[in-house]
Amino acid sequence: MDSSLRIVQPPINLSRRELLSRCGMGVGLMAAAQLLGAEQQASSPNSEGSGLSPARALPLAPRRPHFAARAERVVHLFMNGGPSQVDTFDPKPLLEQYHGKPLPATNLRTERKTGAAMRSPFKFQRYGQSGLEISELFARTAATHADELCVIRSMQADVPNHEPSLMLMNCGEGRQSRPSMGSWVVYGLGSENQNLPGFVAMCPGGYPIVSTQNWRSSFLPGAYQGTYVNSQHTDARQLIANLGNARLSSTDQRRQLDLLQGLNEEHATRRSHAAPLEARLQTFELAYRMQSEAAEAFDFQREPRWLLDDYGPGTHARQLVIARRLLERGVRFVQVWSGAGQPWDNHSDLEKQHRSLSEQWDRPIAAFLADLKQRGLLESTLVLWGGEFGRTPVAELPQLNGRDHNHYGFTCWLAGGGVRGGYAHGATDEFGFRAVDKPVHVHDLHATMLHLLGFHHEQLTYRYAGRDYRLTDVHGRVVPELIA
């Protein structure tokens, strides 16, 4: 039996009037779809003869992966805009020698015209027993967690543009609509709390570039889409719009929802359980259940004062406290954004901007990892830090104090969840431009993360439009050196 985890749509069920209304070629297409659907239902390991897909029966129910997992949940710390690898986690001392001078020919095309080499204005130091070299920008994180970080210095993306690179990192595809990584993880594992979303995306101040596409479910059932939270708010009831219901008692609201669900169920049955209707059914039900638990889960003020002091002040500290609370309560995938714009996209004034951003993130990240570790959650939580690409080691014209986009070689790091701590994987060239040793494409990163979650990335599939889709598309390989 195929061990792929997939969800199959139930056979088409039409009334006589609808059948007659869909004449000509449509009838043949429906017949083919029904036959194919029945065949898939019979072969699916998840159908269990119920005639009802698991996504529709209980979409967020916990599910077992293909094999024993090292990680059970994911936190993605998304540094929107592209932090500079040569100023954070990939030291390049040769840039000091070439500062202000043209680099030797690199045969790499940058998005805009660039000038001479630009040294890093930040000092690097070795930390921990592993001796990982990390910039002063993340000194707190390095001092306490260097031996838990798995730093990938040889990351590669496809193009030096924000939109497709955001989509590639978040959805595994830079051009077309595809489900996000969080949606795939929740599709595969379900959630451990049926009163909260399985996937939460926190971004302060509004939507980032390409908006909700970053946490979309696309053709996966709507229950797996990320729930957006404007984490700029400090009041727990403002974080999610319309969380409370002051006009109806819980009993009356339940009766109202049951009536609405019944009407929608009938509507959906007549239309072969169309995906938008399925999404609406599940969304209404989840919204009702969230009223009982979401306000408490997002109320970071319930934490003791000493712990909040450890995380420090500011939006990002608040986001990470909430992230830990959500993980504790069974949320499967939490994405924490650095802001609605591209805060790390420092084409000019990089020294000031990177320093300011790191001051907002370094202390909270160090406290977050320590908090997870103290609660026994870090070993089963996979943490990913990084942006959509990196930056050039040469200065961008005309300011000569910032860096352009660089997809040829950049850095991200993993922690917890079975990764190899205190390890730097791969390398860029001597200037930090291109990955030259053990390159890791974004597809490889996704494949490795799914492996740590207990999945064969080629078998976590969903049939749509006549083919099986997966997060890594037709690419990706697991990188064993990243695994402890």
At 388-415, the pLDDT tens digits run 999 999 999 888 899 999 999 999 999 9
Nearest to 72 by CA among 379, 324, 376, 386: 379
Q: Are residues 355 and 399 in the same domain?
A: yes
What is the number of H-type helices and E-type strands within the chain?
A: 15, 18
What is the C-alpha end-to-end distance of the chain, expressed in Å?
31
pLDDT band at 246 (very low <50, low <70, confident <90, very high): low
The tens digit of pLDDT for each residue in 62-72 reads 999 999 999 99
The total domain count for the chain is: 3
pLDDT for residue 55: 42
Please identify, among 268, 290, 312, the residue that sits at the C-terminal boundary of a domain. Answer: 290
The answer to whether residue 61 is domain-embedded is: no
The answer to whether residue 336 is domain-embedded is: yes
- Would you say residue 164 has pLDDT above 80? yes
pLDDT band at 29 (very low <50, low <70, confident <90, very high): very low
The answer to whether residue 60 is domain-embedded is: no
The tens digit of pLDDT for each residue in 126-153 reads 999 999 999 999 999 999 999 999 999 9
- Would you say residue 284 has pLDDT above 70? no
Judged by average pLDDT, the poorest of 24-38, 153-167, 444-458 is 24-38
> Mean pLDDT across the stretch 432-453?
98
Q: Are residues 269 and 305 in the same domain?
A: no
Q: Are residues 214 and 131 in the same domain?
A: yes
pLDDT band at 154 (very low <50, low <70, confident <90, very high): very high
DSSP state of 419: B
Chain mean position to CA 63: 19
Q: Are residues 78 and 100 in the same domain?
A: yes
pLDDT band at 54 (very low <50, low <70, confident <90, very high): very low
Nearest to 87 by CA among 336, 311, 352: 352
Q: Are residues 460 and 332 in the same domain?
A: yes
The answer to whether residue 24 is domain-embedded is: yes
Which one has a higher pLDDT value, 28 or 106? 106
% of residues, the chain, pLDDT over 90: 70
- Would you say residue 471 has pLDDT above 70? yes
Q: Are residues 255 and 221 in the same domain?
A: no
The answer to whether residue 57 is domain-embedded is: no
pTM over cut 0.75: yes
What is the domain-level CATH number for residue 121? 3.40.720.10
pLDDT for residue 49: 29
Q: Are residues 341 and 275 in the same domain?
A: no
% of residues, the chain, pLDDT over 70: 78
The answer to whether residue 65 is domain-embedded is: no
The tens digit of pLDDT for each residue in 330-360 reads 999 999 999 998 999 999 999 999 999 999 9
Q: Are residues 218 and 344 in the same domain?
A: yes
- Would you say residue 40 has pLDDT above 60? no
pLDDT band at 233 (very low <50, low <70, confident <90, very high): confident
- Would you say residue 293 has pLDDT above 90? no
Q: Are residues 267 and 337 in the same domain?
A: no
Nearest to 208 by CA among 328, 11, 388, 9: 388
Q: Are residues 265 and 204 in the same domain?
A: no
In the beta sheet, which residues pair with residue 457?
none
Q: Which domain holds residue 18?
A: 1-52
Q: Are residues 383 and 234 in the same domain?
A: yes
Distance of alpha carbon 386 from alpha carbon 389, whole angstroms: 8
The answer to whether residue 64 is domain-embedded is: no
pLDDT for residue 257: 66
pLDDT for residue 46: 36
pLDDT for residue 347: 96
The answer to whether residue 59 is domain-embedded is: no
Q: Are residues 4 and 120 in the same domain?
A: no
